Amino acid sequence: MVHEIELKVRVDDPAALEEKLKGSCVFVRTYDKFDTYYSYPCGPEEGKAFRLRKDGGGCIVTVKEKKVLNGIEHNMEREFSVSSEELFTYFILSLGCSVKVTKRKKGSLFKLGDINLELSRVERLGWFLEVEKICGSNDPAEHEMAKKEILAVLKRFGIPEDRIEARYYTDMLLEA
């Protein structure tokens, strides 16, 4: 299981930030991610959602256990790929799941050591920088160190902590 420690900040000047990222980080790729979040129909998971992501030629299903502590997300992810978006969608709809919200995110992925930085335009919400570190365990000390490293990245790029957006994109989209 993968544990993500991440935060996102609102970006007012994406072109200027992109230049800073290009000067300090390794460019990995551009992306165009289209996510469909499906609600569970009933039971103890009612209200929760899982995601089907189209990114490039593939489709990945992700189930997250999510929590936010002081604006920083601590997520445990379980993912698997599906060979047919159409058949998977038919299958989950036939089980009673329903579309909760969709999200489209276009941008660029950079790396700074073992930290991922995604500069993205999220349709209907605007520009964001996501700073993420993947941890190999559920060790609180490892997570705390990751949090410190992520906050140091914000400082390095001159982004004040009051720009942190603690809400999930899905919640913001449902409000929009």
Annotate 108-154 with DSSP letters as a single string: EEEEETTEEEEEEEETTTEEEEEEEEEESS--HHHHHHHHHHHHHHH
Distance of CA 106 to the CA centre of its chain: 12
Tell me which residue has tokens 């449902």.
Answer: 174
- Of 57-71, 75-89, 115-129, the one with minimum mean pLDDT is 57-71
Q: Bigger pLDDT: 46 or 27?
A: 27
Q: What residues does each domain of the chain span?
A: 2-175
- Quote the DSSP letter at residue 45: G
In the prediction, which pLDDT does 28 show?
Answer: 98
Task: Give the separation between CA 74 and CA 67, rounded to whole angstroms.
Answer: 5
Average pLDDT for 110-117: 97
Beta bridge partners of residue 76, listed in sequence order: 3, 65
In the prediction, which pLDDT does 1 show?
Answer: 66
Instruction: Answer yes or no: is pLDDT of 47 > 70.
Output: no
Confidence of residue 46 (pLDDT cuts 50, 70, 90): low
pLDDT tens figures, 146-173: 999 999 999 999 999 999 999 999 999 9
2-175 homologous superfamily: Hypothetical Protein Pfu-838710-001 (2.40.320.10)
Task: Give the separation between CA 57 and CA 52, rounded to whole angstroms.
Answer: 13
Count of CB atoms situated within 10 Å of the CB of 40: 19
**Model confidence, pTM:** 0.89
Average pLDDT for 49-55: 92
